[in-house]
Amino acid sequence: MAADLDVLNLLIIAGGTLAVPILVFVASFLFWPSALIKVYYWYWRRTLGLQVRYADCSGYRFCYSFRGKPGMRPSILMLHGFSAHKDTWLTVVKYLPKHLHIVCVDMPGHEGTSRTNTEDYSIQGQVRKIHQFVEIIRLNRKPFHLVGTSMGGNVAGVYAAWYPAEICSMTLICPDGIRHPCETKFDNHLQDLEHSNYTLNIPLIPTTPEEMEDMFRLCSHVRFKIPQQILQGLVDFREPHNPFYLEVFMEIIGEKSRYALQEHLHLITAPLQVIWGKQDQVVDVSGATVIAEVLPGCRVDLLENCGHSVVMERPCRTAKLILDFIITQQNARGGTKKSS
């Protein structure tokens, strides 16, 4: 009988132990969904072996995550898009070999990187800051592979034009900064915004769960079913930063930045790969043709049934395409050296 009581007590204790994290999870989901999202990113960084570090320069701080060490393959620097953060790349990093040296940085003013009132958030201003980051962590000790998506693609292209000796190859994913001949749903939104003198809501700066869902529909061809609580958590996560996002948005659609990539295409000398979702409603896929006309040697990979959020919709395919391109370019450089 005593043994039975001991077993019963053990089961009660075990049940109570399990109940605590379950209750915490449920409470977080219902009442603090934004906290749950932070825990989610922390968990996946830890699972994938990414470490978060800070790099300081004259009072300015960059936040970045990394995995691996410089080796035979080039290091990879990944630049996210507007209003995103370094964890945007987790879905792609998951499918890249663990021995590769990968660096994902929070773009200027985003997430853990410093945000100042005097900062230049134009594309050119961001390029200067990213170059400062590269120098601080000494990533440019030898040429590296640069990846950028959307706004980050615009920054990456101008970076490659300004600092060609630092880039061995690069991948642009649905890059902004191109005069694409075909209009998109987002272009129509922009025209409406301009006519309203920017008094209408901006689709990329949601303030409610409904607007957040609309943003996902705009950016993704694949329809993700996201619970209302998670949508609310994402809004709570982003809303304190919306005034900053508005500032950056106005900079990157301004005359100085809007077509910065196209204006610098002719200066890019590094081997270039372009990945684009055929159903992109933000930056039309016809931009890939524009790039190929200026740089006919570039490799273009168009993805079926995929929108603007390529890294979220096709992470495995994206990782494979990037890796194949890096290996192909490295083998080509090796072949050139042998023949010479």
34-54 pLDDT, tens digit per residue, is: 677 788 899 999 999 999 999
Q: What is the DSSP letter of 253?
A: T
Query: Domain for residue 18, yes or no?
Result: no
Range of the domain at 154: 49-339
Per annotation, catalytic residue among 65, 75, 308, 309:
308
In a domain, 7, yes or no: no
Domain-embedded: residue 264: yes
What is the structure's pLDDT at 122? 97
Which of 28, 75, 150, 169 is catalytic? The answer is 150
CATH of the domain at 244: 3.40.50.1820
Whether 95 is in a domain gets the answer yes
Q: How far apart are CA 108 and CA 9, in angstroms?
A: 55
Residues of the chain with pLDDT under 50: 1-31, 336-340
pLDDT at 253: 95
How far is Cα 261 from Cα 168, in angstroms, rounded to an integer? 18
Residue 150 appears among annotated catalytic residues: yes
Examine residue 39 and state whether it is found in any structural domain, yes or no: no
pLDDT tens digit string along 223-248? 878 888 889 888 988 999 999 999 99
How confident is the model at residue 227, as a pLDDT? 87
Tell me the C-alpha to C-alpha distance, in Å, between residue 220 and each of 30, 186, 311, 326.
Answer: 26, 12, 10, 27
Position 33 scores a pLDDT of 63
User: Which residues, 6+ apart, have CB-to-CB distance to 270 below 8 Å?
Assistant: 146, 160, 164, 167, 168, 169, 170
User: How many Å apart are CA 125 and CA 180, to the nearest integer?
Assistant: 23
Question: Does residue 26 form part of some domain?
Answer: no
Catalytic residue (one of 106, 176, 280, 284): 280
pLDDT of 224: 79
Quick one: pLDDT at residue 41? Answer: 92
Q: Give me the count of residues in the chain.
A: 340
Residue 173 lies in a domain: yes
CA distance 59 to 276: 37
Nearest to 166 by CA among 146, 196, 147: 146
Q: Which of 103, 117, 121 is nearest to 52 (CA)?
A: 103
220 an active-site residue?
no
Is 324 one of the annotated active-site residues of the chain? no
- Whether 38 is in a domain gets the answer no
Q: Which two tokens stand for residue 209?
A: 């769960």
What are the helix (H) ranges across 240-281? Answer: 242-252, 260-264
If one counts the domains in the chain, the total is 1
* pLDDT on residue 101: 98
